[in-house]
Chain A
Amino acid sequence: MERPILQAVNITKVFPGVRALDGVSIDVYPGRVHAVVGENGAGKSTLMNILAGVLKPDSGQIYIDGQPVCFSSPKDAQQAGIAIIFQELSVIDVLSVAENIYLGREPLKAVGLIDRDKLNSMAASILARLDPGIKPDELVGNLRVAQQQIVEIARALSINARVIIMDEPTSALTAQETRALFDLIYDLKRQGVAVIYITHRMEELQELADDITVLRDGKRVATGPASEFTIQKLIQLMIGRDVEDSFKFVSRATKKLIFTAKNINLRDPQRHYKKIVDDVSFEVHEGEVLGVFGLLGARRTELLETIFGLHPRFGSGDLCINGRWFFPRCPREAIEAGLALAPEDRKGAGLVLEMSVCENTTLAVLDQFTRIGLINRRAEGEVTMGFVKRMGIKTPSIYQKVRNLSGGTQQKVVLAKWLSTKPKVLLLDEPTRGIDVNARREIYQLIGEFAASGMGIVLVSSDLPEVMVLSDRIMVMCEGRKTAEFSACEATAEKIMEAALP
């Protein structure tokens, strides 16, 4: 085998209270995809940030082409040929594609002004290798996420990066876009670029990875050619114990109707004749999980938002819980009617990160803990403590800020907040996005328990296996319309995908 282009040896990094990386080594070879896998908190991001010069290791050494190097900033790493593409893309919406690619390195004319023609032609020649459909003078804000990602890759190529780090690049892409990205990665490989690829999705590894390194709790637990690993073995290495093949879900569905949504519509605020959500109707029974599947742009989130009263002006329809018809004009009305929504964007919409576990849990029902105008903190603490125990919320204290908790724990706090309102119907939007394998299983367990307690559950997810495992019935959406509905036994992956494609 060739000499590694990038080597990190015995990297250790300690944050206050956590040993994020403990003597981790990794060898990256040119023209190969090296996948780094591990649960959340395993140390993947820390390692990548060290390789990209964002963080400095406490000890350990990085070598490039066998030469020891020391990065004091991302710029140093870039000059050494290492580029990183973060999960949260760092393109600037209001600048053009070419301006983004050459940001900080614009070609100048003699008088110091930007040479726009040269800039655009340079960008065009790089984009030609990736996606000729993207115009250099287009504003990045007008591009789809997948195209914005290509702009970032173009930026990496423009600095002649020989190692490109990609942090969960497919998390916001559709199946076709993922396909295109993979083709692009094969191209990069042929050009001798090394790719470090971080993902949660096991099926991507089989297809893409040449080498795999598994991290757990800041330590490297395994490394080697991808052919040495099976998915079963990887999962076992990641969580450190055996798990049964898949989650066994017990149906709790009854015949008693609890929730009806009829003719839900959402008009486009700009173009009123256009419908974002187009006449969707469905029913949920007590104890039933209705899975809602669709690709990106299927408008599942908008459907839930409309039901939850977030689009009072442009949304319409009829809802019924336990025989009472209504249509909420704001979330408060929806909550009073017995609805609850755990939103897709946990940090941006589900929680107040500066507040504690306790304060988040009781936020929707504070009035219940109020005597003569003052909050009874003891009662509030007791109730929160009950949720912490019942749901296995892993927090050192109920007064811990939720900002400091892991994704899975945060999601449980969101669920605790809604359980405290005693909802009859729980709307879950991508409840396991960005959550590690272990926490995911716990969330599944909880969904089962909620259903067992008689709640009706609407589960929106882009993870097909998840929908198929958890749901009693599956509704498929495409471009704002309901395209199919299956019972759990008649649903197959092929049928569902067929209904989800435009």
Chain B
Amino acid sequence: MSRSGIKNIAKRSRSLGDHRNLRSWGVLLVMIIALSLLSDRFLTLPNIKNILLQISVTLCLSVGMTLVILSGGIDLSVGAILALGGAIAAGLLKTGLDIPGTDLHMQVTVSGAILAALLVGTICGWINGITITRLQLPPFIATLAMLSIARGLTMLWTKGFPITALGPEFGYIGTGTPLGIPMPVWISLIIASVFHVIVTRTPFGRYIYAVGGNERAAVLTGLNVERIKLCVYLIAGVLSGVAGLIVTARLDAADPNAGLGYELDSIAAVVIGGTSLSGGRGSVLGTVLGCLIIGVLNSGLFLLNVSPFWQQVIKGVVILVAVALDRWGSRRA
């Protein structure tokens, strides 16, 4: 009897992450059906590929943002870290590095540049984490400051001008198509899958929910809350660096204004995906859905020749509807 009971449990075993995605899937499905009836170019392979390509950068940022928001925080600096990471990679690749105090000049390889961008993301994320855990600053303030700092450093590094012509080898990150699928799509989907598993199946993932759900209970249970929070911001930083590489490689240029406002896009994707801004509720899978909903919407409106200004208005309405549905659902539950 106990055996069958456990089997039953295992079958119904769901993680914290999976609840309430049904509604988002429904919204996405309705949109896809509607748009494919309205435009015969919508449900074509090139357009699907295009949608996935369009959302790849937001998806990278949003996965990190999901972790941060699940832990009960927020990260406003992802767009600025994206720009800084991209600019540093591009600058190093293009002109190398003069080592201060010496006459030495260092050339940097493509992999060196990639590492540099990831390192920049890591450092920025680490600083976010330290200011939030050790200095006890509210995440909103700490990451707002980081937004300004990283954007300023990007301007200093690039002197305000785009760094262009980075070469085909680096460009492969943005334009390569192994197995016919664009590199950014590969990267973002791999990141989303890995973090889906981390969030739903590892102790670290569950601790994020615990910290976001009830921080005091997490402390009393003996969890190292500071370290969990630090990791979450660090991951968001690294993924911003990845996003910076994608953006820079796709355009073959590091624009100092790259990623402007992306933090809001990624928060929107997370929220549309059903993750609660107060922490402890939501999922990476939901965020993937959120990104898809935004991507499908943009693509569909573009195909229907709706003005980009209207696209923004409609996106805003979708956010309101999604969150209202979410509230309504959780009140009834």
Interface residues of A (CB under 8 A from B): 16, 308, 310, 330-332, 334-336, 341, 343, 348-356, 359, 363-364, 366-367, 370, 373-375, 377-378, 381-382, 385, 389, 397-399, 417
Residue of B at shortest CB range from A421? Answer: B222
Q: Which residue from A356, A363, A375 sits with its C-beta under 8 Å from B201?
A: A375
Tell whether, in the assembled complex, residue B210 and residue A355 are in contact, meaning their CB atoms are under 8 Å apart: yes
Q: Give the top 5 A-B pairs by smallest Cβ distance, nearest first.
A: A352-B213, A332-B222, A366-B203, A335-B222, A352-B214
Tell whether, in the assembled complex, residue A370 and residue B203 are in contact, meaning their CB atoms are under 8 Å apart: yes
Residue of A at shortest CB range from B2? Answer: A385
Known pairs A331-B221, A374-B202 / 20 extra A-B pairs, C-beta < 8 Å: A332-B223, A335-B222, A351-B214, A353-B214, A354-B209, A355-B210, A359-B209, A363-B210, A363-B223, A366-B203, A370-B202, A374-B201, A375-B201, A377-B10, A378-B6, A385-B2, A397-B12, A399-B12, A399-B14, A417-B221
30 A-B residue pairs with Cβ-Cβ distance under 8 Å, sorted by A, are A308-B220, A310-B220, A330-B222, A331-B221, A332-B224, A341-B220, A348-B214, A348-B216, A349-B220, A352-B209, A352-B210, A352-B280, A353-B213, A354-B16, A354-B213, A354-B280, A355-B16, A359-B206, A363-B210, A366-B206, A370-B202, A374-B202, A375-B202, A377-B10, A378-B13, A381-B10, A385-B2, A385-B9, A398-B9, A399-B12
Residue-wise, chain B 197-229 has the 8 Å CB interface mask toward A (1 for contact) of 100011100110110011011111111100000
- Shortest CB–CB separation between residue B109 and chain A, in angstroms? 32
Q: Which residue from A310, A336, A343, A354 sits with its C-beta under 8 Å from B281?
A: A354
Tally of contact residues, B, Cβ under 8 A: 31
Q: Which residues of A contact B16 (CB under 8 A)?
A: 354-356, 359
Q: How far is the CA of A21 from the CA of B207 in the complex (A)?
A: 39
Q: Which residues of B contact A363 (CB under 8 A)?
A: 206, 210, 218, 221, 223
Tell whether, in the assembled complex, residue A375 and residue B13 are in contact, meaning their CB atoms are under 8 Å apart: no
Is B332 located at the chain interface by the 8 A CB criterion?
yes
Tell whether, in the assembled complex, residue B9 and residue A397 are in contact, meaning their CB atoms are under 8 Å apart: yes
- Shortest CB–CB separation between residue B19 and chain A, in angstroms? 9
- Shortest CB–CB separation between residue B282 and chain A, in angstroms? 10
Tell whether, in the assembled complex, residue A350 and residue B10 are in contact, meaning their CB atoms are under 8 Å apart: no
Q: Which residues of A contact B13 (CB under 8 A)?
A: 377-378, 381, 399
Q: Which residues of B contact A378 (CB under 8 A)?
A: 6, 10, 13
Q: Which residues of B contact A336 (CB under 8 A)?
A: 222
- Shortest CB–CB separation between residue B168 and chain A, in angstroms? 37
Q: Which residue from B2, B201, B220 sits with its C-beta under 8 Å from A350?
A: B220
Residue of B at shortest CB range from A363? Answer: B221
Tell whether, in the assembled complex, residue A350 and residue B217 are in contact, meaning their CB atoms are under 8 Å apart: yes
Q: How far is the CA of A438 from the CA of B280 in the complex (A)?
A: 32
Q: Which residues of B contact A377 (CB under 8 A)?
A: 10, 13
Q: Which residue from A16, A330, A349 sits with its C-beta under 8 Å from B217?
A: A349
Residue-wise, chain B 286-322 has the 8 Å CB interface mask toward A (1 for contact) of 0000000000000000000000000000000000000
Residue of B at shortest CB range from A308? Answer: B220
Q: Which residues of B contact A385 (CB under 8 A)?
A: 2, 5-6, 9
- Interface set, chain B 95-111, CB cutoff 8 A to A: none
Q: How far is the CA of A348 from the CA of B214 in the complex (A)?
A: 7
Q: Which residues of B contact A364 (CB under 8 A)?
A: 221-222
Q: Which residue from A335, A348, A351, A367 sits with its C-beta under 8 Å from B203?
A: A367
Q: Which residues of B contact A331 (CB under 8 A)?
A: 219-222
- Shortest CB–CB separation between residue A490 and chain B, in angstroms? 35
- Shortest CB–CB separation between residue B110 and chain A, in angstroms? 31
Residue of A at shortest CB range from B205? Answer: A375
- Shortest CB–CB separation between residue B2 and chain A, in angstroms? 7
Q: Which residues of A contact B281 (CB under 8 A)?
A: 354
- Shortest CB–CB separation between residue B164 and chain A, in angstroms? 42
Q: Which residues of B contact A367 (CB under 8 A)?
A: 203
Residue-wise, chain B 6-50 has the 8 Å CB interface mask toward A (1 for contact) of 100110111010000000000000000000000000000000000
Q: Which residues of A contact B213 (CB under 8 A)?
A: 352-355
- Shortest CB–CB separation between residue A407 and chain B, in angstroms? 16
- Shortest CB–CB separation between residue A394 and chain B, in angstroms? 15
Q: How far is the CA of A378 from the CA of B13 in the complex (A)?
A: 9
Q: How far is the CA of A375 from the CA of B202 in the complex (A)?
A: 5
